[in-house]
Amino acid sequence: MAFISVSEELSSKGATEVQNKFITKYLPVLDDRAVKVYIFALYMGGSGINYTAEDFAKRLNLSDGELLSCLEYLEEFELISILSRSPLEIRILDAENIYGTPKKLKPEKYAAFASAVQSVITGRMISTNEFMEYYYLLEEYSFEQNALIMIISYCVNLKGNDIKLAYIKKVAKNFAAEGCTTAKKVEEKLASYTSSTPSLFKIFSEAGIKGRPDMDDNALYEKWSGQMGFSDDAIICAAKHFKAKSAQRIDAALSELYKNKKFDPKEIEDYCRERNSLYACAGEIANALGVYMQNAAPYVDNYVSAWRDRGFEPSTLVLIAEYCFLQGKKSFEGMDGYINGLYDEGVITEDAVRAKIEKRAAEDKFIKGVLKRCGLERKIIENDRQSLKRWREWGFDDDMIFAAADSAQGKNNPIAYMNAVLSSWKNEGVRTTADIASPATSGGESSRAVIESHYYDLRAAAKARAEKQLARAMKDEEYARIRKRLNSLNISLAFAEVDDENKAAQISAEISELEKRSDQRLAAMGLTRADLEPKYKCSLCNDTGYDSHGRQCECLKKFIKSNKL
């Protein structure tokens, strides 16, 4: 059993977090009173309690002098920083190192070192706190004093006399991470950096990057020229074509080129020309679609690049985008669906696409005329186009279609009525207007066709609405997983009910729980289970025209009467 555990009641309440670093490194060596002060300070800082220094001391049964003594003691270990003594103000610092014993630094030990550092950084007086940071580096990372002075000198030569302490610490820790803590190793490291400096200066100059290259830049250069295998000319070429104005941007450009196996300046130039063409094309498409692109890269990667690989030229894509905008497909995703259709039909060249669009425009104009003769003034929908396609496949010319439209005028569902009439004519062999002996609705065969078409369309519409809602629900990943699992369980249940009653009960319980979760996911999307089932216009016959006893439904009687069938 664990030596220490926490009750549920306690774990649900507030707590003060103490770093593991403090426990492993500082707790064994700190004075007891200092530990009390440190932990209580952590508690105050985390809870937002606004005690004064007097309140603080009183709570711990300390005098004001004893409190200040403890705080100064903690500051020696760099656990806190005393920001002000009147009024007393402190800041709790990060306990930096998890291993080893903390050392109380003695500045007098480093007098010569301090004098040398001040002679290197001549632009300002170095504060006591900054010197303490340098002493800390010497102690914790085992730097030789001359090694750290060489690093500080390098930083000053690189950044100037306004060099910040944070930068020096960062560089020193990087050296330590590579095991460079002696003067000899630091000298070797700086010598290797110096050997690559001319190349970096040339790259920075050609790319228009301001400032001098530093150690981080040198590390990147070693990666480019060593691991990746780019020549200086290739790096410069990439920087120019990608308009990279920093070493980090050059690194991103070279990573892209490395991924695409482009190393030679000529290869890079060709790749960038094509890349720039794709980005320019994406911009023109976005303008045509009315889409705002904050970052073109995803559009290029997911759409434009794939379209170009399929053989669509930039001018063709812009033409398609303009057409999609007029058709209400005002997105790359909507345009992608249309392009997929064109590609499946083999319509790729600009002439072929233009001919396709012109044919579509002519068909829409004809459909508009059909709708008008039917007595409809609405917009064209996709179902109208599918109907026209079917009528033409049946072999009817424009005159016959117009004749059917004239006969449908005034009907409740003119397009469905036209379907029935043309279907009847097709079966009866009526191919020309001269063959139309009487109104299409006067015969029994035609009447039955009209009725069947009407109820077929009603059922199809109800099923289409349900399928649309289901498709919407299935876009939710969690609901899709639940539904897939339910389908599998329902099959398992059918077998279990025959072979194993206990297993059947378990499966039924799981199904019940999943159905609850399914309903919750649907509710989150504003749907119910009923929305996924067809909602028929007539609940008595479910849009069949006949009730459960095979008798004509009231809706059918009304339809016959209203359409004079």
- Residue type for 426, please? K
Give the C-alpha separation, 163 to 152, whole Å: 9
Both tokens assigned to 238: 């990439």
Q: How far apart are CA 412 and CA 87, in angstroms?
A: 88
The CATH number of residue 44's host domain is 1.10.10.10
What gap in Å lies between CA 247 and CA 368, rounded to an integer?
60
In a domain, 220, yes or no: yes
Question: What is the model's pLDDT at position 196?
Answer: 61
Least confident of 120-129, 318-327, 420-429, 541-550: 541-550
Model confidence pLDDT, tens digit, residues 115-164: 999 999 988 888 887 888 888 888 888 899 999 999 999 888 877 888 88
Last residue of some domain: 298, 327, 348?
348
Model pTM score: 0.40
Judgement on whether residues 203 and 175 belong to the same structural domain of the protein: no
Q: Residue 452's closest CA among 537, 546, 386, 524?
A: 546
Residue 128 lies in a domain: yes
Give the pLDDT score at 383.
Answer: 86
146 contacts 120 by C-beta, under 8 angstroms: no
DSSP track, 128-148: HHHHHHHHHHHHHH---HHHH
State the Cα–Cα distance between residues 80 and 73, nearest whole angstrom: 9
448 contact partners, CB below 8 Å, separation of at least 6: none
In a domain, 517, yes or no: no
Please tell me whether the peptide bond between 314 and the residue prior to it is cis, using omega within 30 degrees of 0. no
Given 131, 151, 181, which residue is the final one in a domain?
181
Total of domains in the chain: 4
Is there a single domain that holds both residue 174 and residue 212?
Answer: no
Same domain, 116 and 85: no
Nearest by Cα to 538 from 459, 466, 450: 459
* 444: its two tokens: 């029994």
- What rounded mean pLDDT belongs to the chain? 83
174 touches 180 (CB < 8 A): no
Residues 163 and 215 in one domain: no
Contact yes or no for 344/381 (Cβ under 8 A): no
Final residue belonging to a domain, choices 59, 92, 125: 92
Q: What pLDDT is stored for residue 103 in this prediction?
A: 57
Q: What are phi and psi of 219, to 5 degrees?
A: -65, -40
Q: What's residue 2's pLDDT?
A: 41
Please give the full DSSP string across 60-97, using - where no structure is assigned: TT--HHHHHHHHHHHHHTTSEEEEEETTEEEEEPP---
Query: What's the pLDDT tens digit per position in 43-56?
Result: 887 776 677 888 88
- According to the model, what pLDDT value does residue 195 have? 63
Assign 3-class secondary structure to 192-236.
HHHHHHHHHHHHHHHHCCCCCCCHHHHHHHHHHHHHHCCCHHHHH
Domain identity same for 113 and 59: no
Looking at residue 437, its pLDDT comes to 53
Give domain status of residue 295, yes or no: yes
Q: Are residues 321 and 340 in the same domain?
A: yes
Identify whether the C-beta of residue 93 lies closer than 8 Å to the C-beta of residue 78: yes
Measured CA to CA in angstroms, residue 423 lies from 45, 343, 418 at distances of 83, 32, 8
430 is a domain residue: no
User: What are 434-459's pLDDT values in tens digits?
Assistant: 877 544 444 455 666 677 777 878 88
Residue 331 pLDDT class (50, 70, 90 cuts): very high
What are the φ and ψ backbone dihedral angles of 153, each rounded to 5 degrees?
Answer: -65, -40
Is residue 228 domain-shared with residue 289, that is, in the same domain?
Answer: no
Same domain, yes or no, for 61 and 118?
A: no
Q: pLDDT for 340-369, tens place per residue?
A: 999 999 999 999 999 988 888 888 889 999
| Site of tokens 């170095």 | 126
Residues above pLDDT 70, as percent of the chain = 91
Indicate the angle between helix axes 414-428 and 350-374, nearest 10 degrees: 100
pLDDT at 98: 45
Answer whether residue 247 is part of any domain: yes
Number of helices followed by number of strands (H, E) in the chain? 26, 2
Q: Is residue 421, in this structure, part of any structural domain at all?
A: no
| pLDDT for position 12 | 52
pLDDT for the residue 288: 92
Determine the Cα–Cα distance for residues 265 and 235; give it in Å rounded to an integer. 8
- Mean pLDDT on 267-293: 88
With cut-offs at 50, 70 and 90, classify the pLDDT of residue 13.
low
Q: How far apart are CA 24 and CA 485, in angstroms?
A: 50
Considering only residues 183 and 190, tell me which one the structure prediction assigns the higher pLDDT: 183
Question: What pLDDT does residue 6 have?
Answer: 41
Task: State how far the alpha carbon of 82 is from the alpha carbons of 55, 140, 254, 549, in Å.
Answer: 18, 22, 48, 93
Q: Which range is least confidently modeled, 23-37, 298-312, 366-380, 444-458?
A: 444-458
C-alpha pair distances (Å), 199 with each of 202, 212, 225, 232, 268 = 5, 12, 10, 7, 19
The pLDDT value given to residue 4:
43
| Pair 419, 433: CB distance under 8 Å | no
Considering the domain boundaries, does residue 367 fall inside one? Answer: no
Direct distance between the N- and C-terminal alpha carbons of the chain, in angstroms, rounded to an integer:
88
User: Averaged over 419-436, what is the pLDDT?
Assistant: 83
DSSP secondary structure, 370-398, as one string: HHHHHT--S---HHHHHHHHHHHHTT--H
If asked whether residues 292 and 323 sit together in one domain, one would say yes
Instruction: Quote the domain boundaries for residue 309.
Output: 276-348
497: confidence class by pLDDT, cuts 50, 70, 90? confident
CB atoms within 10 A of CB 154: 21
